[in-house]
Amino acid sequence: MIRFVKHSEVDTDKWDECIKNSVNSMPYAFSWYLDIVVKQWNALILNDYEAVFPLPTRKKFGLTYAYTPFWVQQLGLFSKTYKGLRRINDFVAKIPEEYRFIELNMNHQAAVKEGPGIQRKENNNFLLKLDKPYQDQIFQYSKNLRRNLKKASSAGLEVFKNDAPKNLIDLFRLDKGKSLKHLSSNDYKVLEQVMHVAVYKHCGQVWMAYDEGNRPIAGMFLLFGLNRVVLLFTGNSKEGKERAAMPFLIDEFIRSSANSFFTFDFEGSNDENLMRFYSGFGAENHPYQTLKINRLPLLIKYLK
């Protein structure tokens, strides 16, 4: 039986055990991660936590809705069996009527089928298996990536693998962050908390590239799941772009993790330039859905 459970009633030990042992486990779905990125989340749960479906929840103008928070790419249904994943539409049908608007990113292994009132949008996500020796991994690299790595190798860059989260966030805010006005100070605080807790739990690392003057010029935050590493957040600078510091950092991680059971998750993207950059490493597209259900009153419905 699939039942709706409020956040306060979720058994987080059983929840995390389900996420850990699910066939499609992702780090975003652990209770500690959800507790940081969203103030309230409820859930749909099958029997005794055989499968779970988080519902990040907000209210606006008195209306309850489910959404995908910042710093989360994919949620949806997580199950201990592949058979359970096939029940995705049963879970969607059990989302209470009080949720008047639903816009949630599903994970790529649990795709929602067509149905009344269900809208779906496909998004790109690039994954790279690290199950080969490094020499075999770089055989997949594009010519442009090889040129950039050659440029980086002569730039005298050094990697620091346990840098401070604030250093990476500051680097981002001084560069790309200037044009992203939708990110608030609180969004950055939430991100920094995610980083600190992940580092504390030994499932997160900040990698930074420093130039010969000991100045940080690029960086990335890696979030580790059971068998995947998510490129959750990156920061760059003008100097970092000129010296190909970001390709250098990613290649360094691939070098150190080659011949492992990890999959490197680039976490996107629908942007053509980023798609070309990610595929340059030999990564393949594993698309996921955004689910949208609009139950809003008629007047508001068409405004959405």
Q: Tens of pLDDT along the chain (304 residues)?
A: 999 999 999 999 999 999 999 999 999 999 999 999 999 999 999 999 999 999 999 998 889 999 999 999 999 999 999 999 999 999 999 999 999 999 999 999 999 998 889 999 999 999 999 999 999 999 999 999 999 999 998 888 999 999 999 999 999 999 887 888 888 999 999 999 999 999 999 999 999 999 998 999 999 999 999 999 999 999 999 999 999 999 999 999 999 999 999 999 999 888 899 999 999 999 999 999 999 999 987 656 555 5
Q: Which string of DSSP letters, residue by residue, matches 183-215?
A: --HHHHHHHHHHHHHHHHTT-EEEEEEE-TTS-
pTM (predicted TM-score): 0.94
Q: How many CA atoms lie within 13 A of 226 on its CB side?
A: 13
Residue 156, Cβ density class (10 Å: 0-12 exposed, 13-18 middle, ≥19 buried): exposed
Torsion from C-alpha of 230, 59, 32, 225, nearest 10 degrees: -20
Q: What is the pLDDT of residue 182?
A: 86
The 8-class DSSP code of residue 112 comes to P
Q: What is the pLDDT of residue 68?
A: 97
Cα separation, 89 vs 110, in Å, equals: 9
Domains of the chain in sequence order: 2-123+288-303 (3.40.630), 126-285 (3.40.630.30)
Q: What is the pLDDT of residue 178?
A: 81
Q: What is the pLDDT of residue 301?
A: 54
Residues in the chain: 304
Q: What is the pLDDT of residue 34?
A: 98
